[in-house]
């Protein structure tokens, strides 16, 4: 049965609940969130499970370099993104990523309007012609990202931190510090075992 317009719109919405994560990964992320709170790091869970429809839209808008929706660990419930609340970003010259699918407080009623702006604080993401590089606009922000990476590396060996991705010599941080995924993600994605479990839990957008 095809989705209604309302259902299609809802499938593009961002999900930040751990409900649809792969069970073993979900338990680790909940422990990580508790550890973040205990250490008083200013991170919040921005996105967890991502529907294939939302991922496809991100690809079409150029916000993802993947070739198909199911190549993303988010779609398999095996990745989450963390962000720092806007009030901690004190610089006016900040590099912003745009969520053009779901608007923020001033969002319009249609998908694609009123984009929610957010900030990773320290990085310029690489493109097809330029390499990712670190711009230290706020030393405290950089230190928080590094502290998150240290926490994961020391206490959560089954998690992989995106702050080490594409990190070159002399760089302070990699290209995707927001991203945390399950160490066995690629294997589970290849086997399609995680997504089968997500279907059983009623994760939206999976046919």
Q: Which pLDDT belongs to residue 109?
A: 28
What tokens were used for 123? 């990085």
CATH C-level class of 5-201: alpha beta
Only one residue has tokens 């066995």, namely 184
Only one residue has tokens 């073993």, namely 24
Q: Which pLDDT belongs to residue 101?
A: 35
Task: Measure the CA–CA gap between 134 and 139, rounded to whole angstroms.
Answer: 12
Domain spans, the chain: 5-201
Q: Which pLDDT belongs to residue 142?
A: 82
Q: Which parts of the chain register pLDDT below 70?
A: 1, 86-127, 130-135, 137, 170
Q: Which pLDDT belongs to residue 1?
A: 59
Task: Measure the CA–CA gap between 1 and 97, rounded to whole angstroms.
Answer: 35
Q: Cβ distance 26 to 18 under 8 Å?
A: yes
Q: Which pLDDT belongs to residue 157?
A: 98
Instruction: Say whether pTM exceeds 0.85.
Output: no
Secondary structure letter of residue 35 according to DSSP: H
Q: Which pLDDT belongs to residue 114?
A: 31
What tokens were used for 197? 């479990």
Say if residue 112 is exposed, middle or buried (CB neighbours under 10 Å; 0-12, 13-18, 19+). middle
Q: Which pLDDT belongs to residue 123?
A: 58
């Amino acid at each position: 049965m095809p989705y209604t317009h309302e259902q299609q719109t809802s499938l593009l919405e961002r999900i930040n609940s751990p409900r649809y994560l792969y069970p073993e990964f979900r338990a680790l992320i909940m422990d990580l969130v508790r550890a973040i709170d205990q250490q008083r790091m200013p991170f919040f869970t921005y996105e967890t499970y991502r529907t294939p429809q939302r991922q496809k839209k991100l690809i079409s808008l150029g916000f993802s370099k993947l070739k198909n929706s199911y190549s993303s660990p988010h779609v398999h419930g095996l990745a989450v993104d963390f962000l720092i609340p806007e009030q901690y970003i004190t610089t006016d010259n900040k590099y912003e990523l745009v969520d053009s699918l779901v608007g923020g407080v001033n969002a319009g009623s249609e998908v694609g309007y009123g984009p929610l702006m957010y900030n990773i604080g320290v990085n310029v993401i690489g493109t097809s012609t330029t390499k990712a590089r670190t711009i230290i606009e706020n030393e405290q922000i950089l230190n928080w990202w590094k502290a998150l990476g240290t926490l994961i590396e020391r206490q959560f060996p089954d998690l992989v931190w995106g702050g080490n991705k594409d990190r070159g010599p002399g760089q302070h941080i990699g290209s995707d510090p927001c991203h945390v995924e399950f160490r066995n993600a690629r294997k589970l994605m290849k086997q399609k075992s995680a997504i089968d479990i997500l279907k059983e839990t009623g994760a939206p957008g999976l046919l």
